[in-house]
C-alpha cells in the first residue's frame, strides 16, 4: 500500500532563517506531488505541484520554492522565512492524471517567530 511521510511534525523558526520540509511517498511510482498550506482560519491553498522529476509548477508567488530531486521526494524550501509563512504545510500525492483524489501527509505546523 502507498504511504506518505512528511517531517518534521512541528517546527519553530525565527524570521529570516531558512526552511526545508521534506516529503516522501512509498508504494507508488510517478506520482503527482503537491504542497498545500493551511493558514489559520483559512482553507487549503495550493503552493506547488509536480508531475515529474524536476518539473515544478508554482501557484502563488512568494518566498518559498519547491524541488523534486527524486521521483517520490518533494522538498519545500525558503532562504529567509517571513512571519506570514507561519501555517500548516501539507504534502500530498496522487496518481498521475486528472480526476484522482489527493492523499495527504500529516502535515508540518510551522511557526515563524
User: Would you give the DSSP letter of residue 97?
Assistant: S
Distance (Å, whole) CA 38 – CA 99: 22
- State the nearest-atom distance from the C-beta of 80 to another protein, in Å: 27
Picking from 67, 71, 61, the residue whose alpha carbon sits closest to that of residue 49 is 67
User: Would you give the DSSP letter of residue 85?
Assistant: G
Residue 98 engages another protein in binding (rule: CB under 8 A): yes
Residue 86 engages another protein in binding (rule: CB under 8 A): no
- State the nearest-atom distance from the C-beta of 44 to another protein, in Å: 4
**Residue 83, phi then psi, degrees to nearest 5:** -55, -35
Q: Give 6 or 78: the residue with its C-beta nearer to another protein.
A: 6
Per-residue string for binding with another protein, 26-65, x by CB under 8 A?
A: ------x-x-x-----xxxxx--x-x-----x-x------
Amino acid at each position: 500500500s502507498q504511504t506518505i511521510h512528511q517531517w518534521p511534525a512541528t517546527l519553530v523558526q525565527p524570521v529570516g532563517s531558512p526552511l526545508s520540509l521534506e516529503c516522501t511517498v512509498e508504494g507508488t511510482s510517478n506520482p503527482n506531488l503537491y504542497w498545500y498550506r493551511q493558514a489559520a482560519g483559512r482553507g487549503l491553498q495550493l503552493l506547488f505541484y509536480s508531475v515529474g522529476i524536476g518539473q515544478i509548477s508554482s501557484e502563488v508567488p512568494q518566498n518559498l520554492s519547491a524541488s523534486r530531486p527524486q521521483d517520490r521526494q518533494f522538498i519545500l524550501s525558503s532562504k529567509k522565512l517571513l512571519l506570514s509563512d507561519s501555517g500548516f504545510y501539507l504534502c500530498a500525492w496522487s496518481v498521475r492524471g486528472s480526476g484522482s483524489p489527493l492523499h495527504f501527509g500529516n502535515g508540518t505546523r510551522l511557526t515563524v517567530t
